[in-house]
Chain A
């Protein structure tokens, strides 16, 4: 693929993958990512930022940022994946390339805790108000515990453990283990 081959002479990019004829993904290093995005926009016609999102790879201790760009002339999508460490997580802002990116970055900061220094309105509330816990989309956020803590149980609810219930019904008093 021309864009990838040309860019790879200048930047640290790798792992080109063709998802479909009109959709490719590749990885870019954290340091070169914004330069790569700038080139794609200015030089290769990927003028539209379709979306910008994050996946939490807790087991690898990494966030994978995905920038999805579109080229209107070629009708082609390009996904640029950037792996960054989960600790003190920070990424260069791209709001100077696409002003709308500021909103994505605001959301990502709130939901995942990724910082984008200089991004306008970064610390304004996006969807959560007065959130004090760890960012809720992080995989180590315990949704169930939060739910228990925050929403009171409806009176009259009770549940049964299948194993205990079956014991009561099928073998009461038998072979209890000591």
Chain B
């Protein structure tokens, strides 16, 4: 044993008066690093309750629960994530994937409570000390688990598109469709907003699985006109898409079109369910637009014998006669119609109820009637000179073109209106070589036409003049007509009301043109309904009043589509037809008078 060994134990005494290295109690908390992954923060108004966080959580630590003060609305489920910190492993996948970017993590990691239940809470919904903490984990810039931009749709250039009626949107290839389908987070928030409540995530999944048959079945569950809808649907779904918060919405409409484009009409009957055996009951459907065809399809599936009566040469209603071919080729309308016909629905064309056959005889012969006759009579401008030759309605032009005639529009056209009919008439006129000006009395943001229609019409060279109110039409000098119009100012109408255009006194401008095409809306024609039956129906501002089953004041008569539905688009008419089919079935099964 050396001397050192003996002295060594005493050497520690030299530290006896120094500050100890041990931590003091209470422990001084050290803040987490700036990007530390601590307790979650959720911007509760930014969150839409899509549940993508719940879906990705590998520990099942997240539940979606109702939160007081939040209700379901379009684009917001009203649910919010509640996290079980007994299971959370702080991996932050939920933060990385959150489509709205509402979810983050604070750098707080110390929190003491004696009740284990306290460790389950709704971040942002239940107040916590770290709610406003700036430090903590956020998704890093440029690091994305989701693709914000949609797969670009191959389209004809504007130079090309305005030369012909060839379909402008060319459709996705398989690779493109699968890539686009892959962007969907399958939250299902769009389903509530789709008037027909189509199961969008399910058919997008079918695309991911490359199972077109399954896709077709899912689509037909709620929409028997998908070849048309896949092209011209007003796609309300895309406006509420969770991915829209991150960038661009999923191309839901075009993915639906992709499914339909992959399957030949001849193969439909192998895939879709066939009609039930006939139950001997007969239903008359008046009008072969989307509402009528949808009702016919679903009623036929239930075994009813359906006869459709339609005044036009071909079925499809406004899909065929109101939408130009570059947006919806006629063979696509045919595809939808033909399958419904193949199921055994009889469609009588060129037969106008009230002229060729009276309504009363249908009423007596059939067990129930569904009518969806649409809005056919265009509103007039109600200004001087509107009966001059050269003033015509947008619908008439579109109708003529569908029938293969060349419309008499001349070299320059003014289209009055801001809806889809106005855009269609304008772009159709461009295709006949006319210079086109669109006059609209409100602002561009107020235009009821689809965004892309407005964009494409301008791309094709239509000039848009907003806040312009037509005053009178006169005979032109070098051109056929002169249209005088005044400028309007937007006058605020108070909260919740849209501003009203008011003519600025004394403002007057003139455009020389060969045609004035009016497209400011249209109204229904109910003259085919005889007085004795009509008196039972209730009309309000030109619309038939119906209940949730699309039943009118006469229990045997059901109605839907533009005449009964303020949304006035194909998909709403389809939904009406579907609901009416259900209503008619319930009515005929349960409430039929002896």
Alpha-carbon distance between A153 and B196 when the two chains are bound, in angstroms: 37
Q: How far is the CB of A10 from chain B (nearest CB, A)?
A: 39
Alpha-carbon distance between A166 and B120 when the two chains are bound, in angstroms: 24
Using A160-B66, A165-B72, A166-B78 as known contacts, say yes or no to A175 and B197 having CB atoms under 8 A apart. yes
Using A159-B54, A162-B79, A169-B72 as known contacts, say yes or no to A154 and B189 having CB atoms under 8 A apart. no
Q: How far is the CB of B580 from chain A (nearest CB, A)?
A: 10
B86 and A162 within 8 A (CB) = no
B574: nearest chain-A partner, CB-CB: A175
Using A154-B120, A175-B222, A175-B582 as known contacts, say yes or no to A159 and B192 having CB atoms under 8 A apart. no
Q: Point out residues on B near A: beta carbons under 8 Å.
A: 49-51, 54, 57-60, 62-66, 71-74, 77-79, 84, 86-87, 117, 120, 187-189, 191-192, 196-197, 199, 201, 221-222, 548, 575, 578-579, 582
Q: A160-B66, A169-B72 are in contact. List 13 more A-B contacts (CB 8 A).
A: A147-B59, A148-B60, A160-B79, A165-B72, A166-B192, A169-B78, A170-B74, A175-B196, A175-B578, A175-B579, A177-B199, A177-B221, A178-B582
B58 and A171 within 8 A (CB) = no
Using A162-B49, A166-B191 as known contacts, say yes or no to A147 and B87 having CB atoms under 8 A apart. yes
Q: How far is the CB of A159 from chain B (nearest CB, A)?
A: 4
B58: nearest chain-A partner, CB-CB: A143
Residue from A148, A154, A176 having most chain B Cβ neighbours under 10 A? A154
Q: How far is the CB of B182 from chain A (nearest CB, A)?
A: 13
B78 and A174 within 8 A (CB) = no
Alpha-carbon distance between A148 and B87 when the two chains are bound, in angstroms: 10
Q: How far is the CB of A58 from chain B (nearest CB, A)?
A: 16
B191 and A167 within 8 A (CB) = yes
A176: nearest chain-B partner, CB-CB: B582
B192 and A170 within 8 A (CB) = yes
Q: Chain B contacts of A174 at CB under 8 A? A: 197, 548, 579
Residue from A148, A151, A153, A165 having most chain B Cβ neighbours under 10 A? A165
Alpha-carbon distance between A176 and B64 when the two chains are bound, in angstroms: 24
A157 and B63 within 8 A (CB) = yes
Alpha-carbon distance between A78 and B572 when the two chains are bound, in angstroms: 62
Alpha-carbon distance between A20 and B93 when the two chains are bound, in angstroms: 28
Alpha-carbon distance between A157 and B78 when the two chains are bound, in angstroms: 18
Partner of B188, one of A148, A163, A169: A163
**Residue A161 CB within 8 A of the other chain:** yes
**Residue A144 CB within 8 A of the other chain:** yes
Q: Point out residues on A near B: beta carbons under 8 Å.
A: 143-144, 147-148, 151, 153-154, 156-163, 165-167, 169-171, 173-178
A161 and B51 within 8 A (CB) = yes
Q: Chain B contacts of A166 at CB under 8 A? A: 72, 77-78, 188-189, 191-192
Residue from A143, A148, A159 having most chain B Cβ neighbours under 10 A? A159
A158 and B63 within 8 A (CB) = yes
Alpha-carbon distance between A87 and B578 when the two chains are bound, in angstroms: 53
A163 and B72 within 8 A (CB) = no
A151 and B87 within 8 A (CB) = yes
Q: How far is the CB of A176 from chain B (nearest CB, A)?
A: 8
Alpha-carbon distance between A166 and B71 when the two chains are bound, in angstroms: 9
Question: What are 14 A-B residue pairs whose CB atoms fall within 8 Å in the complex?
Answer: A144-B58, A144-B59, A157-B63, A159-B54, A160-B64, A162-B187, A163-B189, A166-B192, A167-B197, A170-B73, A173-B548, A174-B197, A174-B579, A175-B582
Q: Chain A contacts of B201 at CB under 8 A? A: 163
Partner of B192, one of A143, A156, A171, A173: A171
A155: nearest chain-B partner, CB-CB: B117
Q: How far is the CB of A104 from chain B (nearest CB, A)?
A: 23
A159 and B65 within 8 A (CB) = yes
A177 and B87 within 8 A (CB) = no
A163: nearest chain-B partner, CB-CB: B188
Alpha-carbon distance between A153 and B86 when the two chains are bound, in angstroms: 10
Q: How far is the CB of B175 from chain A (nearest CB, A)?
A: 15
Q: How far is the CB of B594 from chain A (nearest CB, A)?
A: 27
A162 and B50 within 8 A (CB) = yes
Q: How far is the CB of A91 from chain B (nearest CB, A)?
A: 28
A162 and B87 within 8 A (CB) = no
B77 and A165 within 8 A (CB) = yes
Q: Chain B contacts of A144 at CB under 8 A? A: 57-60
Alpha-carbon distance between A9 and B59 when the two chains are bound, in angstroms: 50
B71: nearest chain-A partner, CB-CB: A169
B222 and A158 within 8 A (CB) = no
Partner of A162, one of B62, B84, B188, B579: B188
B64 and A159 within 8 A (CB) = yes
Q: How far is the CB of A174 from chain B (nearest CB, A)?
A: 6
Partner of A147, one of B58, B72, B222, B578: B58
Q: Chain B contacts of A156 at CB under 8 A? A: 117
Residue from A163, A169, A171, A173 having most chain B Cβ neighbours under 10 A? A163
Alpha-carbon distance between A163 and B74 when the two chains are bound, in angstroms: 11
Alpha-carbon distance between A159 and B222 when the two chains are bound, in angstroms: 27
B195: nearest chain-A partner, CB-CB: A175
Q: Chain A contacts of B222 at CB under 8 A? A: 175, 177
B119: nearest chain-A partner, CB-CB: A154
Q: Chain A contacts of B120 at CB under 8 A? A: 154, 157
Alpha-carbon distance between A171 and B72 when the two chains are bound, in angstroms: 11
A160 and B65 within 8 A (CB) = yes
B579 and A163 within 8 A (CB) = no
Q: How far is the CB of B224 from chain A (nearest CB, A)?
A: 11
Q: Chain B contacts of A157 at CB under 8 A? A: 63, 84, 120
Alpha-carbon distance between A166 and B54 when the two chains are bound, in angstroms: 17
A167: nearest chain-B partner, CB-CB: B192
Alpha-carbon distance between A174 and B222 when the two chains are bound, in angstroms: 12
B65 and A161 within 8 A (CB) = no
Alpha-carbon distance between A147 and B86 when the two chains are bound, in angstroms: 12
B54: nearest chain-A partner, CB-CB: A159
Q: Chain A contacts of B191 at CB under 8 A? A: 163, 166-167
